Structure 1
Amino acid sequence: MLKYYNELLYFAQKLVGDKEKAKDIIQETYSKVLETQNKREIKNQRAYLYKVAKNVAVDEAIQNQKLQTAVYEESEHLTQKHEQPEEIAIKQNQEELFMQIVNKLPKRAREAFILYTIDEYSRKEIGKIMDITSNAVEKLIKRATLKIEEELAKKGF
């Protein structure tokens, strides 16, 4: 979890505008996350750290009675949800997990799946490339898809 310290510090500093306050926020964030980690498993540590850091910053703003100004200004400077650091981290982790699952597929199923979904070849074209029938391609893609769905379900997606 310490590998995320610098990016979390930067994130907190952007939230509060003060490096020393940001350090305090990150220290409290790690403290809270370590307490939570002892009670339950945290699947996506990076995203969880971002969420806790944001909550700690908001709590501090409330305590300092600066929330009214922060909320008003926040609406002018909001980024799209998909551009927020915690959303980017979640998406990257999901993509990494997906590729790990794809890479664990049997060679022929993986090849057919990648050619179909990523390279966008037709089943007929894949059949020619792999020197198999279109039906065989269909079965390989279906098996790969089912295996990926099964693995994602095990991971809670």
Structure 2
Amino acid sequence: MPDLIRELLLHYRDLLRHLKHKLRNPDDAADIAQTTFAQVYQHALAAPGQASTIESPRALLFRTAHNLCIDQARHRQVVEAWSDERTALNPHPSAPSAEHMAAYRQLVERVVELLAQLPPRRREVYLLFRAHGHTQAEIAQRLNITEAAVAKHVVRATLDCARAFTELAEGLPVLIEPNAGSRGHPMLAEERA
């Protein structure tokens, strides 16, 4: 498994360069590159026996990134259509419900707890990357570590957060119901009233 991770990290710059050229947005490129690494790494963890059978880790990374780009484009189209429709139906949205605010506070508290539990260096790297928007190169230079180390910390922190959010989602009230809005768009629970 460590060999696979090393090999994946060797292709990070090529992947990021490719995504920046393709997307023409360095922030989106960095996000998709990170998500790509997280997905490939998580897949390798879930099926350790299959990790050694990956013939071309580079091809796997680029194919995964390509699929994520397509998913992102589709998601943006749906969000824009939903947002336009929602604005047309309700140009003056009401304040969030008490249930929504309580769930949001619980989510924020859990995020703070999760970040406090991360190893100090991982937390520092993750916050610089996600909260402050620094590039991996800037973080590497600032902390005097390699870009590969930055990528590793961000991937691991992302996986930690994903696991925590999965657990947290099970305990939160449902605030969005699929297929409840017009033409099958999701709708906030308080919009039904």
TM-score (normalizing by structure 2): 0.38
Q: TM-score, normalised by structure 1?
A: 0.46
Higher RCO, 1 vs 2 (CA within 8 Å, ≥6 residues apart): 2
